[in-house]
Each structure stands twice: as C-alpha cells, then as structure tokens.
C-alpha cells in the first residue's frame, strides 16, 4: 500500500479521535446545566467502574488483532487474518459478557461502597440503577472494537474513524435529549435522568455497529475474493497459539490506558466518606466529587488532548529507531516527545489555574463556584494535567523501548500512594486533598518511569533541563501578563457576572498570555527546536510582516 495512503488514513483516524474527544468534553456544559454537580457525581459513580471494566474486557486485543492482520496480510495469508478476527471476536464476546454480568449483578455492592452509607442527595439504590443501565454497553463494545482492529489491520482507517464519530454524536444527542425530556417533560428525578444518560453509551455503540456493518457488507466481496485467490499456504498455527499471542498484549496496555480512571475509582470509594468524616454535609461532599472527577477533569483534559497526540506521534519512529539501534535518532524522538508536553501543557495548565473561577464559570455557570468553591479546586487541579500527560508519554516511551512492563510497576506504586494518602490528605485539606493525593501518586509514577527510561537508555537530560528552564521562565512572564490583563478587565467584568463575562475574560487573557508566550518562544528559537517543521506557517507569517 502506498505510503501516502497510510499517512492519509492515520491522519483521518487522528482527526476522528480528536473530534470524538472534543465532543466528549463539550457535551458536559449542557449536561451540567440540566443535572448540576450532584448529577455529575452520580454519572461518575457509574462511568468510572464502566471505563475500567470496558478496558479490561477488551484487554488490548483489538490492537493485537490489528497487528496480526497486518502481518498476515503482508504475507498474502488472508485466510489466517480471518481466523485471527474470528478468535478475537470469540474472546471479546466472552469478556464483554463477563464484564456485563460483573457490573450488572455487582451494582448494589459497588453502589454501597461508593455511597458509604451516606444517603444524602441520592441513595445507593439510585447509584446501582445508573450502574446497571451503563453495564449493557459491555455486551457490544468489546466485539465492536475487534471489527475496528480488523479494518485497521487492513490499512482501512475510514470505518474506525467514521464509526467513532457517529458513536460519539449519537451518544451525546441521545444523552442530552433523554435527560432534557426526563427532567423537563416527564418531570422525573435526577437519578432517572442520569440513568438515561449512562444508557446512552449502549445507544452510541449500536449506532457504531450499524456503521461498521455497512462497511463490512461493502468490503465483504473483496475480502472473499482475496481469500479465494490466495496463493500462499495458510500459517500452520493452532487456535490456542493465536489466542495466546493476542492475550500477550493485554497487561501493560490495559493498565496504562486506565491509569486516570483508577485514580478516580479510589476517589469514588473514599472521597464522600472522608469529607463527611470531617463534618462536610453529605450532599455537598457528593457534589464536590462530581466537580473534581467529571466537570473539572473535562476542563483540564482540553490542553492534554492535542499535545499528547503531537507527543505520541513520535513513538512509532522511536520504536523503529530503537530496534534498529539508531541511538541518536531515538534519543532525539524521546527528547521531542517530552519537550512537546512541557512546552504546550505546562503554560496551559498554569493559565487554567490562574483563571480557575473564570474557566469553571464559562463552562458551567456561577452556582458551583460561589457555593462550593469549584474555581479554587480548579486552581489546584489544573497543574495535575501536566503530570497525567507526562505519565502517559513516559509510559508510551517505555513501550517503544520494550520496557512496557515497568509501567505496571510504576502505576502500582502510584495507586498505593493514592490509597494510603488520599484519606489523610482530605482530613487535612478537605476536598482538595483528593487532588493532592492524585498529584502525589501520578508524580511518583512519572518519576519512576523517567528513572527507568534514563537508566535503560543512559538518557542525557541536559537538553531537556535547559529547555524546561526556558519554558518555566516564559510561563512566568506569561503568568504576569495574564494577571495584569485579568486585573484590568476586573474593572468592567468579573466571573460573578456569569458565563459570557467569564468567557470573555478567559479568551482575552488566553490571547494576551498565549501571544506573549509564543512570541518569546519563537524569538528565542525554542518553538522551532521543540516543534520542528510543524511551525512552517509561522515562519511564512513573520516573513510577510517583515516584507
């Protein structure tokens, strides 16, 4: 297949993934307006265990199917590719059914652990209800993901890209429409409305299956023809060998993929208990959980989405360079990956922290900011985005140099820190103690990853340190600019004036601070050194201004 076709397919998949994530961030604005902070907490109680189980039930096998299909297609062995698909599908049907049964019949137990005996706001029965409704998605998503992996293995990215976007759009439309009708037309309570919101995962998955089925019907004659015309002898491997090879991909990919969700899962079982133990009202404690783990988390993922994509784009080249023993190239790729994360996410997270009240109000209104201190929580939570991004990037680098198993060790260490320190930190600092616990845990896991990478590769960190220092200086200057602009705007606008005023403040401060940061980075050549040929348009723009 032509290289241009592969690149085009990869770009299509990347764009679809970005659009899907963007929609997943934006929909929480109207969702919050409909159900509030407490409804967000109830939604998180169902979605956090669902995300964990859906990740475990797929256990990295779609990636394995994609790789093996690509391998056997390259050998002209299309019959074995079909066998890989069928075996992968069989595994996914079983694991999906098990995940459904665990979640559906374990809903009462998960709900009781989550609520912790505190029935203020909503009962354990309400939590169990929303968990059961989201559990149905486990029946079809694992098998659906296998079909996507098969198409990707055939270098056909369109089915995955289109089905991802359709799934997200249908899920969000159903979710918002169902919640609106439940509350405003049928006058149901919040628990019923949030239950419909979680069931939207199943509806979105069905829509994705329809898209994939249409593609499958269209491609089926071509697939049959290839098998009929196959000239090579099919590989002599048993079903057991295929399953064993597919399962060998499981552990590291699953664990690092659900790292953030695991930290939220610990909060789900400890946050309300800890806050009520120090005298916090139970209903308020649940609302604070929703603010941190759903609404606030959506905001801090905004800068992460693009920057992690740019950073991880270097990982395939890193893997090739490592296995071809091109030390100079793979060290360059590692440096660039880490520097992109620091360059983009550090100033963005600092900016969100400085505009915590304004950012939260622009998304969700003033109520939670004035009554629950959501803006101050955002100020503490925003910098954690950098730690999440660095953990993801360092884990991917370890994967690229065949040290992916260490990511499991580092994440385990981080989870143990979160488990042991989460409650004491909340006793000492209140709701923001949960944020401190996450920051400490993710920070330790990231440091361990970095130490392992440095030791395994004898990684020279001088360049990274120098550029990190420049980023720190430029971010400090940017912060001063943001604070000055915020102060001046404060004479006419405040976050208490509502969403529009807050949005204006965020946009103006972001433009002012971001412009200063980018100009400093460009003039110092830091921008060019970090992003490389990605900034060609800036060079052309500057030349036009000089002319």
> Distance between CA 460 and CA 138 in Å, rounded?
45
User: How buried is residue 2: exposed, middle or buried, by Cβ count under 10 Å (0-12/13-18/19+)?
Assistant: exposed
Structure token pair of residue 391: 């953990």
Average pLDDT in the 76-97 region? 91
The Cβ of residue 225 has, within 10 Å, a number of other Cβ atoms equal to 11
Kindly indicate the confidence band of residue 446, based on its pLDDT and cuts at 50, 70 and 90. very high
> Distance between CA 411 and CA 129 in Å, rounded?
31
Is 80 exceeded by the pLDDT of residue 523? Answer: yes
> Distance between CA 231 and CA 13 in Å, rounded?
32
Is 50 exceeded by the pLDDT of residue 267? Answer: yes
Distance of CA 375 to the CA centre of its chain: 22
The Cβ of residue 217 has, within 10 Å, a number of other Cβ atoms equal to 9
Nearest-5° Cα angle at 137, 132 to 142: 135
Q: Compute φ and ψ for 539, nearest 5 degrees.
A: -60, -45
52-86 burial code (b ≥16 CB/10 A, e <16): bbbbbbbbbbbbbbbbbbeebbeeebbbbbbbbbe
DSSP secondary structure string, 112-137? Answer: HHHHTT--SSS-HHHHHHHHHHHHGG
Q: What is the pLDDT of residue 11?
A: 65
The position carrying tokens 């803006």 is: 375
Q: What is the pLDDT of residue 3?
A: 42
**C-alpha dihedral sign at 358, 360, 364, 368:** negative
Q: What is the pLDDT of residue 2?
A: 45
Q: What is the pLDDT of residue 118?
A: 62
> Distance between CA 140 and CA 397 in Å, rounded?
32
Supply the angle between the helices 3-26 and 28-58 in degrees, to the nearest 10: 130
pTM over 0.85? The answer is yes
> Distance between CA 260 and CA 348 in Å, rounded?
19
- CB distance 265 to 52 below 8 Å: yes
15-54 residue pLDDT tens: 787 788 889 989 999 999 999 998 999 999 999 999 988 8
Q: What is the pLDDT of residue 323?
A: 74
Find all residues with CB under 8 Å of 425, minimum gap 6, and list them.
433, 434, 436, 437, 440
Q: What is the pLDDT of residue 1?
A: 45
> Distance between CA 228 and CA 348 in Å, rounded?
55
- Strands (E) located in 283-431: none
Is 90 exceeded by the pLDDT of residue 475? Answer: yes
- CB distance 461 to 309 below 8 Å: no
Q: What is the pLDDT of residue 64?
A: 74
């Amino acid at each position: 297949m032509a290289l241009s076709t592969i690149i085009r397919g990869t770009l299509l998949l990347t764009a679809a993934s970005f659009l899907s994530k963007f929609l997943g961030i934006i929909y929480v604005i109207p969702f919050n307006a409909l159900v509030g902070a407490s409804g967000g907490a109830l939604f998180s109680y169902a979605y956090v265990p669902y995300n964990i189980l859906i990740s475990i039930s797929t256990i990295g096998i779609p990636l394995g199917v994609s790789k093996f299909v690509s391998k056997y297609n390259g050998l002209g062995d299309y019959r074995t590719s079909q066998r890989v698909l069928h075996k992968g599908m069989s595994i996914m049907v079983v694991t999906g059914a098990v995940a459904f049964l665990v979640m559906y019949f374990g809903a009462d137990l998960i709900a009781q652990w989550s609520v912790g005996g505190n029935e203020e706001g909503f009962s354990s029965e309400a939590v169990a209800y929303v968990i059961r409704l989201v559990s149905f998605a486990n029946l079809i998503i694992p098998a659906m993901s296998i079909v996507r992996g098969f198409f990707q293995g055939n270098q056909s990215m369109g089915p995955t890209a289109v089905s991802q976007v359709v799934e997200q759009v249908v899920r969000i439309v159903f979710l918002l429409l169902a919640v609106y009708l439940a509350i405003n037309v049928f006058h149901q309570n919040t628990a019923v409305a949030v239950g419909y919101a979680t069931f939207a995962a199943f509806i979105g998955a069905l829509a994705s299956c329809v898209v994939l089925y249409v593609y499958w019907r269209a491609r089926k004659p071509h697939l049959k023809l290839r098998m009929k015309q196959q000239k090579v002898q099919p590989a002599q491997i048993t079903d057991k060998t295929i399953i064993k090879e597919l399962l060998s991909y499981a552990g590291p990919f699953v664990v690092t993929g659900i790292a953030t969700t695991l930290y939220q899962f610990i909060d789900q079982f400890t946050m309300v208990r800890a806050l009520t133990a120090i005298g916090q009202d139970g209903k308020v404690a649940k609302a604070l959980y929703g603010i941190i783990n759903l609404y606030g988390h959506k905001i801090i993922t905004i800068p992460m989405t693009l920057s992690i994509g740019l950073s991880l784009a270097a990982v395939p080249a890193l893997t090739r360079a490592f296995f071809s023993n091109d030390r100079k190239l793979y060290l360059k790729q590692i440096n660039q990956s880490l520097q992109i994360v620091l360059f983009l996410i550090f100033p963005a997270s600092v900016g969100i922290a400085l505009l915590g009240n304004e950012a939260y109000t622009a998304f969700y209104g003033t109520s939670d900011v004035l009554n629950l201190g959501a803006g101050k929580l955002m100020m503490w939570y925003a910098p954690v985005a950098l730690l999440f991004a660095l953990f993801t990037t360092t884990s991917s680098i370890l994967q690229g140099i065949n040290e992916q198993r260490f990511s499991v060790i580092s994440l385990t260490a981080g989870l143990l820190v979160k488990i042991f320190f989460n409650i004491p930190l909340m006793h000492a600092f209140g709701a923001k103690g949960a944020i401190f616990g996450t920051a400490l845990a993710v920070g330790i896991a990231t440091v361990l990853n970095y130490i392992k990478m440095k030791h395994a590769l004898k990684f020279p960190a001088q360049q990274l340190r120098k550029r990190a220092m420049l980023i720190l200086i430029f971010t400090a200057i940017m912060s001063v600019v943001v604070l000055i602009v915020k102060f001046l705007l404060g004479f006419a606008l405040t976050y208490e004036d509502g969403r529009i005023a807050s949005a204006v403040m965020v946009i103006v401060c972001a433009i002012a601070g971001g412009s200063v940061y980018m100009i400093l980075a460009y003039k110092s050549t830091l921008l060019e050194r970090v992003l490389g040929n990605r900034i060609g348009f800036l060079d052309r723009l500057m030349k036009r201004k000089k002319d």
